[in-house]
Every structure is written in C-alpha cells, then in structure tokens.
Chain A
Amino acid sequence: MNRIGVFVCHCGSNIAAAVDVKQVAEALGREQNVVFSAEYQYMCSENGQKLIKNAVKENALTGIVVCSCSPRMHEATFRKTASEAGINPYMVEIANIREQCSWVHKDITAATSKAIILGRAAIAKVRFNEPLTVGESGVTKRALVIGGGIAGIQTALDIADAGYKVDIVEKKPTIGGKMAQLDKTFPTLDCAACILTPKMVEAARHENIKLYTYSEVEEVKGYVGNFSVKIRKKARYVRENLCSGCGACALKCPSRNSGNEFNTGLDKRGAIYIPFAQAIPNIPVIDAEHCIKFRTGKCGLCQMNCAAQAIDFSQKDEIIEEKYGAIVAATGFDIINLDKFGEYGYKTYPDVVTSLEFERIMNAAGPTKGHLERPSDGRQPKTLVFVQCVGSRDTSGRGKEYCSKICCMYTAKHAMLTREKYPDTDVYVFYIDVRAPGKNFDEFYRRAAEQYGVHYIKGMVGKIYDDGNGNLMVRGSDIIANEQLTIKADMVILAAAAKPDDSARSLGTMLTASMDTNDFFTEAHPKLRPVESPTAGVFLSGFCQGPKDIPETVAQAGAAAVKVIGLLSKDRLKSNPCVARSDSLICSGCSNCEKVCPFGAITYADARVNDGTGMETRRVAVVNEAVCHGCGACAAACPSGAMDLMGFTSKQIFAEVDAVCR
C-alpha cells in the first residue's frame, strides 16, 4: 500500500511568486495514495528537511514527492533526508516546479496548474518506485597495462610511483615499442633512445612493476575492480633466471636468415637474438621458425656456448592467471601495409622505403650505423623525395580515412636532418597539407623549409618508376605551380599511414571495450572522459585511442594512470542502483540488448525457468550491475519488455505520461 507525502517548496519567492503553492499542495493532497501534503518556505533547509522527516515518521510514508527546484540541484539532498527518515532513498521523486515552471511561465494560473500536473506526474511515478540498494564490490589493488611502449611504460611508472602494483604485458621480447626504433624526436630533435631507455630501466627496476615480455593477454573476465586475466607467456627457450645477458649465444648462432624486426627488416639477425642493445629484459629469445635446432634437430651451438646453461629447447608456453582492478590498453600503432599502393613501387624498388625504415637508416645504432646509404647499392643518395599522406586521408578503401597526425612533423624532421648532415643533397617533400598544430611545430616545419632549404611541393606523387638506369623517377603534380614534374631521385621515403596495432581488435573484444571502424579504442566521452573506455575499469593510453605524437602520448599515459590510481585507491566501489534488469521469465535471449549496450554490461547465461508451461533451459540476458551505467538503450531495444531500467521503469514512465496527459 502506497502512502505518499507531498512537499511543496516556496523557494522563497522563486516558486511562490509565480505558482500558488497552497493551491498546489491542496490539489496534490487530493491525489490517490497521497496521505500528507504540505508547503514550506525552503524545503532544502534544515527545518524543511525536519518537516519531511517528521511527516515520514508520523504518517508512515512509503514515498516522497518534493515539488521544488531541479532534481539536478537537490535530488541527492532529499534522498539523504529520506534515508535519515528511515525509508529507501530511491523512494523520492522531485517535481521540478522552479526551473521548468515558475521561472519560465509568467501567468500564475497557467504556472499553478502546470505545477499541479508536474506534481501528479511525480506522484504517479513514485507509486511504482521500488526500494533500490547501492551495490558494492571490492577492488583488486593491482593494475594491468597492455603494451610496453612509451605509453604503457609511462602509465605503469605513474601507477607504480603512487604505490600500486602494476604489470606490463608486452608481446615483443623487449619493452620500448616504436619509440625505441626512432632516431630523433620532433620538434626538439633530442635522441629518442636517450630519453626512453632510462624509463625502460626504471620500469624494469621498479619494485611495484612486473614485466611480462614476449607475452600476450589471452582471456579477460570480470568487471571493474575485479578482472581476472590469463596471460600467455610465450616460450623464449631461454631461462630468464639463469641468463646473464652476455650475448654469446647470439654471436655464435649460425642462422642468419631472419629479417631483423628492430631494423625493420633492413638487415639480418640470428635465430637467437636480443632485439637491440638496450633491450629490457636483456635476455635473448629463440625464433623457433628459423632456428636450425628446431628445424633439423641438429645444431645447439648456442646451448654449448652458454656458460649460464640458460638455453632450454624444451621450454613451453606458460599460462599465468592474475587478478586486476583496472586494465590499461596501450597497444600502440603500426604502419599500414603498402602492397595496395603499387604506384609508389615500394615492393618493386628497394630504394623506396617507409619513414620507419628511414628512421633506422638515420639511426646511429641502425643497419648503416647512421650513414645515409640507400638499400639497393649502399650509395649515398643525392636527391631524396618524401611523399606524405601515403594511405592517410584515403577513403578509396586502400588506406585509412583519418589523418595519421605524426607524418607531417616526422617528415619535416627527416628532411631537416638529411639536409643538416648532408648539405649536398636535394630534398623534396610532396604534401597535401602541412599540419603542424602543436607547440613549436609550425616553427619547426618552417625551419625545414626556410633554413634547411627543403623543397616543399604542394601536390601528390602519381607514379614512381625506374628509368632503366637505376634512377627512380618520381612523377607528381605541383598544383601551386600548376605543373606536372618528374624528379630523378635516388631514394624515396613514404610517410605510410599509421594504424592501430593489429592486436588491438582482439583485445577490444576481450575487454568488451568498444572500438571505432578504424580499430581505435573509443573513449567514454570524446571531450570529458578521453582516457577512459566506456567499459568501466578499462583505460586508454597512447596511439590505440587515436593518432598521437610522443608528448601527447605521455600526457595521456599520465592521465590514464591518474584514473587508475583513483580507482585503485577505493576499497569498495559503489554502483549506481539505477541499472538495467532483465526478467528471465520473459527474456527470449535474442541479443538485441547486447548489441546496443555501449558498456558490454550484458552477457547471456542459460537459466532454468518455469513460466507456467514447464521447466526449461533458456538463454537469457544477465546485466552486470557493476558495469551498467543505466542509459536504458537496452530497455528500449527489447521487444518483449523483459529488459527494464530501475528508477526509470516503463511502468514509471507510462504513469508519468498518463499523469501529464490526463
């Protein structure tokens, strides 16, 4: 039996001046189930609240309607009042008769009758309110960072410094990511390795950080605060606890056929190798595909030469299961495959290279020891052509429709460094637009053009071909000069579009974190929650959320860390009780709700149900209340009405509609 109390607030004269509050209180007092009705100067005041509490006790009220200002202002206040008076805080409804009535309607009769109708709607709704309890769950005080590039390292360091345990999972044998491969960084031209390697070492030494390199996330279960993750630690065939990192094995390895990934395949490495000198951990790994021992059963030179007896050909992949409170995706980027861009001849001509390959060529630790030598004949190129937007801003289906953001700047950097070290070179850059909106970015690009004499050509390259004499002919347009030109070049560098790492898509599925069509992780809110995934407890760091340069990545990595720290600092997580709920008796298990849920809060389970026609097993929707945000998309998508939203049930809204339209 509903016993409802109505409390009409004057809000000084804010309401009372335009609404006849007495009449409202009287009219609402005559409504069904209303057993108490009163008006008062300031309901939100100490005395006003006391009035409510007393009325609850004296009239054994089960529901409260406050006709006052916007619920966005004082709903929380009156819920607390109800709670103190001993009834469930979710048995309170507010009729907004200030912002949406007295303040906007001049005519007192009209405003008064509207206030009465709004009050009736609130009464109609509160009749169907149910007591709701705030759910609580614990928090595992450990975070997982997926990806060990600069984004992942920075996030992990920040979390670890705040005193929380954090694990990094990196699929490659070493952390460092793409930044480790770079030569210099724009716009300051400081050496990438010099600023990155100390961070790598710090991450490795930090007491709160645990590294899982050469490992991949295999399964994620659970929800915010309580994730359970399976990590596959791939067999290195080297015992990490024994290896001293002396590198003797790598030197002795007779296999020399594998492309060296760290140098983008520009030179070869052995089947047992340490990716690069500063690798962390400094432990080699055996590439079983190329290892002679694995292929033929004979060899084992590395084993014979290992003083520490660390080589173990029988090692198997290991599955580690760990619990986490928060997960950070920091899977980074890769560059697109250029097979579809035959007109640039990347596959045909060795001297057409990607920018990442050019980074390695220019890097002192790279395959040419930092000397500018072109891959085909080792000659120093005299004329270099850079082509921007190769596959970026491309809607033809061959590339990516977005701007990769970093190419304009690194191309300017490459062009500048080339001209600086080799003043006898001619450097051309074909560009569509130069995008340099960042601190000192435009100045940097202008310096390349003005001080270093880099020829910027607004236009695009149509075809790259050879003249039969070993020269590359670059045919393109200069749309400002309105001419087509053909440049005889020695080397061409393509700024290939950057894309999210291939591992992101499957990770997104595991995390039920939404992704856009380009496989970038979607943020919870594009402006206000840029480092959070819509999936609670999952955070985003770096390029995996969208194209970013290093400073932006580091900034976002820190922001993600703060969000993680904020979450881990709580002992209990309170959840919003206004969440979706599925009626297993009615649910058909059609999955419509799951498809519209932005948070991945809906899963399916087989339930034994008896709806009167006999016991049977059915696939029914189950809402994870800790993950649901309560938007109600599922409730509107459910054709059978099995899904409903607590606090805003269909019945409640129907009752409001009926009351308003009565």
Chain B
Amino acid sequence: MQINEKDKSNRPNENPVPSDENFTPLIVAFCCNWCSYAGADLAGSGRLSYPAEVKIIRVPCSCRVNPTFILRAFQKGADGVILAGCHPGDCHYSTGNYFTRRRMTLLFSMLDYMGIEKERTRVEWISAAEGAKFASTMNEFAEKINSLGKCRRLGDLRCV
C-alpha cells in the first residue's frame, strides 16, 4: 500500500472538542517500564478491562517524567494525567521514584493551589504483579475524571 504525502496536517484543532453530553475524558498515563507498564501488560493478559480513554506512554522510570510533560498533556487537551511507578523502595534504578514522589507531590500541590482540580492529577505505585490494581486504578480514575468533565482550566490560565 503506497500513500502519497499530501496534506497531512497535524494541527491540534483537527478534532473538535466534544460537547459535554457525549464527553469522553482523555487520560494520559505515564508508566514506568519496569513495574507499571508491566502491570498494564498483566492487566491485558488477564483481560481486565478499563476505559479506552486511558492512553499509556512508556517511560523508563517514573523519575523520567518532567513536570512539563504533564502540563503539556493538559495543555493539549488531556482531562486527567496519572503517573504510575514502582512502589517506593522497589525502583529498578533504586531511587528514581523517591524523586518522583517529591516532584509530583509538590507539583500537584501547586496545581491545586492555582485552582486546577487536584483530582485530575494522580500518582499511583503499581508493581509488575499488580495487573488488577492497574485496571481498578484506571477505572476509578476515569470515573472521577468523567464526573469532573472537560479540563479547561490549565488552558485558560494564560498570561498573554
């Protein structure tokens, strides 16, 4: 199958924002490769379902996640962002998630302070053996985001 490279615009406004009646939330999940991504795989092999709105981005360690990634996701239309890593003490790189824990605690506290609904952000420790926890966490989180509705605030918090 050959495709011509023609007018493949990637403008962000290609998809209109869904109206609130048929709102389906967009959730970005950053998962560390060694525990949580494996946990998500295990949820898969166990056929434990969770909403399709959850999109996973793989990172080597939760400590790779720069706060700008999370902000960027909200900026580009995510309604909730969850960061999942190994349990404290079990990090593949020994100490990565300890740094994550501090960074995210402080960042999320700040977002809350700025009036962004704090329920839209979450950190969860999910091991490679916790497929069920992965699925239930995602279900729970999606439900919460659903009840919150579309996230507009970060986009509106502009300084121009």
Instruction: Say which one of A113-121, A129-137, A260-268, A357-365 lies at the interface with B.
Output: A113-121
Q: By the criterion CB–CB under 8 Å, are A661 and B99 in contact?
A: no
- B73's closest neighbor in chain A, by CB? A657
Q: By the criterion CB–CB under 8 Å, are A534 and B76 in contact?
A: no
Range of interface residues on chain A? Answer: 35 or more
| A-side contacts of B43, CB under 8 Å | 99, 104
Q: By the criterion CB–CB under 8 Å, are B63 and A633 in contact?
A: yes
Report the separation of the CA atoms of residues A648 and B60 in the bound assembly, to the nearest whole angstrom: 8
Given known pairs A635-B64, A645-B64, the reply for A662 and B8 (CB within 8 Å) is: no
Interface string of B69-94 (1 = CB under 8 A from A): 10011001110000000000110111
Given known pairs A99-B44, A648-B59, A660-B28, the reply for A631 and B96 (CB within 8 Å) is: yes
Q: By the criterion CB–CB under 8 Å, are A526 and B90 in contact?
A: yes
| A-side contacts of B95, CB under 8 Å | 514, 534, 596, 598, 633
Interface string of B109-130 (1 = CB under 8 A from A): 0000000000000000000000
Given known pairs A98-B44, A104-B44, A657-B69, the reply for A632 and B1 (CB within 8 Å) is: no
**Residue B148 CB within 8 A of the other chain:** no
**Residue A70 CB within 8 A of the other chain:** yes
Q: By the criterion CB–CB under 8 Å, are A25 and B93 in contact?
A: no
**Residue A196 CB within 8 A of the other chain:** no
> Which residues of chain B (28-51) have a CB below 8 Å from chain A?
28, 33, 37-38, 40-41, 43-45, 47-51
The majority secondary structure among interface residues of chain A is mixed
Given known pairs A100-B44, A522-B94, A534-B93, the reply for A596 and B72 (CB within 8 Å) is: no
**Residue A351 CB within 8 A of the other chain:** no
| A-side contacts of B26, CB under 8 Å | 660-661
Given known pairs A650-B68, A657-B76, A662-B10, the reply for A596 and B99 (CB within 8 Å) is: yes
| A-side contacts of B72, CB under 8 Å | 654, 657-658
| A-side contacts of B37, CB under 8 Å | 70, 72
**Residue A103 CB within 8 A of the other chain:** yes
Q: By the criterion CB–CB under 8 Å, are A30 and B56 in contact?
A: no
Interface string of A527-540 (1 = CB under 8 A from B): 10000001000000
Q: By the criterion CB–CB under 8 Å, are A70 and B10 in contact?
A: no
**Residue B103 CB within 8 A of the other chain:** yes
Given known pairs A117-B55, A632-B60, A660-B28, the reply for A104 and B5 (CB within 8 Å) is: no
**Residue B58 CB within 8 A of the other chain:** yes
Report the separation of the CA atoms of residues A658 and B28 in the bound assembly, to the nearest whole angstrom: 11
Nearest CB on B from A154, distance (A): 25
Q: By the criterion CB–CB under 8 Å, are B93 and A598 in contact?
A: yes
Report the separation of the CA atoms of residues A598 and B99 in the bound assembly, to the nearest whole angstrom: 11
12 inter-chain pairs at a CB distance below 8 angstroms, sorted by A residue, are A25-B1, A29-B1, A37-B1, A100-B40, A101-B52, A121-B57, A599-B93, A636-B65, A636-B103, A647-B60, A648-B60, A662-B15
